[in-house]
């Protein structure tokens, strides 16, 4: 039913965000989305490349578009918003300066590949209704806030997905899992982004504000779709606590991890143990006996009737 | 009296060509900015900037090349695009900040040396392996910046959870990648 999608994990999904990679592959597989990892993919250059020359960023990301074109895949999906920004920058650079772009890459490029985030792929190809039907262990009553971060939905003209100021796609997917999603005014505020290494003090303060607002919104956990946001909020939570003179203890899960848990995927396919703040205190325990699908739907009512 | 002196100083330092160059390489009409302050109000980093974003825009309009290219704000900007989204004049403000940063780099004005050091080590890693080797990058950056003790507290957590990779991923196409880096970035 669904065409295969090129999968571009990005460097951090091989290291600090390895659980994002694991859970993305497992959830897409479980939901019938076929991912083909791009062979020989390279780093998009991230922020350091954009420091030097816009064409460096465009061609580094462009090389990956070329690989997708060679594999005859029309869509490339990346879970990392930083990589997504670079891919979209490459698409734009090709549209504006195709000659210089192709000359630098050393190969002709047709410009037919589009780039999406894992959030957009799940929202558009699966959607909240189908997801609600696939849920085996509903997270009823679990209060979580979705944190979209800076780049998933903005700027509007390049993201072309959801609202840049008040995105709701992740809210709807989380509600489909049974979660309670309180109003979170800092959905798209910046967590400090790439300054984690060079200015940890700035990141501690900005992430601290986010964690504080999440707690005040009544959240038991934060759900993210960006490796950098996850690191700043989870790995550096102790630094944020120190900066805010407060204690948060808020687990920060990847969207694909929480979906995977509700779908009943095995723990080792989701890498939940790799999170610094353990999510097991807040995630509802899954019983040993798997409920049958009809039991599940019966207990929760039709997802369509839940609005 | 003081205001008058500032005015004279600004007039004397004004470089209209600078405005044109920023407009050209960013593709943005800086003159459209009427100082509403939305960018500054949206910016998460304002508290740490030496000049808030709207003042950077104003300084560009006034052709104050020296002040703008030496300011710290352009190095701290996280490119979160909040300013761009909220600009009523549809100026891509984040793009202007990025443009100013590579103009500063070209002129050798680096107000935050660590950002440059980190970027250099990052691109070096990309050139060698084709992908970033996180552990190697962090070690190299720490050695160069002298920030040896920063974040050491995180290492045991990462080690315990198997998130620190000790082996780089070397991709077959790394020479192509290295050629691209070499062509567009002057990394020593």
From residue A122, give the alpha-carbon distance in Å to each of A148, A222, A248, A279. Answer: 15, 19, 30, 22
Compute the distance between CA of residue A91 and CA of residue B117 in angstroms, rounded to an integer.
29
Contact B84 A155 (CB under 8 A): yes
* Residue closest to B68 by CA, chosen among B27, B21, B35, B36: B21
Tokens standing for A234?
């989870």
Q: Is A157 in the B-facing interface, judged by CB distances under 8 Å?
A: no
Shortest distance, CA A11 to any CA of chain B (angstroms): 6
pLDDT of B149 reads 72
Residue A240 in contact with residue A207, Cβ under 8 Å? yes
pTM, full prediction: 0.92
Tell me the fold of B2-107.
Answer: Fumarate Reductase Iron-sulfur Protein; Chain B, domain 2 (1.10.1060)
Mutual angle of helices B16-26 and B93-106, in 10-degree steps: 120
Predicted confidence at residue B158, as pLDDT, reads 84
Domain ranges within chain B, ordered by starting residue: 2-107, 113-184
Tens-binned pLDDT, residue by residue, of chain A (307 aa): 578 999 999 999 998 999 999 999 999 999 999 999 999 999 999 988 988 888 999 999 999 999 999 999 999 999 999 999 999 999 999 999 999 999 999 999 999 999 999 999 999 999 999 999 999 999 999 999 999 999 899 888 888 899 999 999 999 999 999 999 999 999 999 998 888 888 899 999 999 999 999 999 999 999 999 999 999 999 999 999 999 999 999 999 999 999 999 999 999 999 999 999 999 999 999 865 555 555 554 455 444 443 3
Assess: ipTM above 0.95: no
Answer yes or no: do A42 and B165 touch at CB < 8 A.
no
How far apart are alpha carbons A104 and B107 in whole angstroms? Answer: 24
Q: What is the DSSP string of A158-212?
A: HH-SS-SSS--HHHHHHHHTT-B----TTTT----GGGGTT-HHHHHHHHHHHHH
- Which residues in chain A have Cβ-Cβ distances shorter than 8 Å to B180? 56, 59-60, 63, 104-105
B118-127, pLDDT tens digit by residue? Answer: 999 999 999 9
- Pairwise CA distance, residues B12 & A61, whole Å: 43
* A11 secondary structure, DSSP code: G
Q: Measure A299 CA to nearest chain B CA, in Å.
A: 37
Closest of A250, A176, A262, A168 to residue A216, by C-alpha: A250
Nearest chain B alpha carbon to A273 = B161
Q: What mean pLDDT, rounded, does chain B reach?
A: 91
- Put simply, the answer to whether A14 touches B165 (Cβ < 8 Å) is yes
Chain B interface, best mutation among A21, A149, A155, A160, by max B CB count within 10 A: A155
Nearest CB neighbour to B80, from listed A41, A193, A199: A193
3-class secondary-structure state, position A143? strand
Q: Which of chain B's residues have a Cβ under 8 Å away from the Cβ of A160?
A: none
- Tokens representing residue B131 in the block: 């992908």
Neighbours of A103 (CB within 10 A): 11
């Amino acid at each position: 039913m669904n065409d295969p999608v090129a999968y571009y994990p990005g460097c951090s999904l091989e290291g600090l965000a390895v659980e994002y990679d694991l859970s993305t592959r497992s959830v897409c597989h479980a939901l019938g989305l076929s991912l083909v990892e791009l062979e020989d993919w390279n780093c998009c250059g991230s922020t350091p490349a954009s420091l030097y020359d816009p064409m460096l960023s465009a061609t580094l990301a462009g090389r990956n578009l070329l690989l997708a074109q060679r594999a005859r895949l029309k869509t490339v999906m990346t879970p990392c918003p930083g990589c997504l920004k670079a891919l979209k920058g490459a698409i734009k650079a090709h549209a504006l300066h195709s000659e210089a772009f192709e000359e630098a890459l050393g190969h002709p490029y047709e410009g037919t590949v589009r780039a999406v985030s894992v959030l957009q792929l799940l929202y558009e190809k699966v959607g909240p209704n189908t997801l609600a039907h696939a849920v085996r262990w509903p997270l009823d009553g679990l209060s979580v806030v979705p944190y979209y971060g800076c780049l998933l939905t903005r700027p509007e003209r390049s993201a072309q997905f959801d609202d840049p100021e008040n995105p709701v796609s992740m809210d709807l997917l989380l509600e489909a899992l049974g979660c309670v999603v309180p109003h979170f005014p800092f959905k798209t505020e910046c967590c400090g982004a790439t300054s984690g290494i060079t200015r940890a003090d700035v990141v501690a303060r900005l992430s601290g504000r986010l964690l504080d607002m999440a707690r005040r919104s009544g959240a038991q956990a934060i759900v993210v779709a960006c490796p950098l946001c996850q690191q700043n909020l989870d790995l550096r939570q102790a630094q944020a606590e120190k900066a805010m003179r407060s204690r948060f203890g808020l687990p920060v899960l990847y969207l694909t991890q929480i979906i995977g848990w509700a779908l009943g995927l095995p723990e080792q396919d989701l890498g939940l143990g790799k999170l610094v703040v353990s999510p097991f205190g807040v995630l509802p325990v899954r019983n040993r006996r798997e409920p049958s699908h009809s039991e599940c739907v019966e207990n929760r009512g039709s997802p369509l009737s839940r609005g | 009296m003081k205001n008058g002196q500032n005015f004279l100083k600004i007039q004397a330092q004004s470089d209209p060509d600078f405005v044109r160059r920023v407009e050209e390489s960013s593709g943005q009409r800086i003159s459209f900015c009427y100082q509403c302050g939305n960018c500054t109000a949206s910016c998460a980093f304002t508290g740490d900037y030496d000049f808030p974003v709207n003042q950077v825009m104003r300084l560009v309009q006034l052709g104050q090349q020296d002040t703008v290219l030496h300011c710290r704000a352009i190095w701290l900007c996280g490119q979160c695009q909040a300013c761009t989204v909220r600009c009523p004049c549809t100026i891509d403000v984040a793009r202007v900040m990025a443009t100013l940063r590579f103009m500063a780099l070209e002129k050798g004005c680096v107000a935050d040396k660590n950002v440059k050091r980190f970027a250099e080590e990052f691109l070096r890693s990309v050139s060698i392996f084709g992908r970033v080797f996180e552990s190697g990058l962090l070690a190299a950056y720490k050695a160069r910046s002298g920030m040896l003790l920063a974040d050491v507290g995180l290492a045991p957590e990462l080690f315990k959870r198997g998130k620190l990779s000790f082996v780089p991923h070397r991709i077959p196409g790394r020479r192509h990648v290295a050629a691209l880096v070499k062509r567009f970035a002057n990394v020593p």
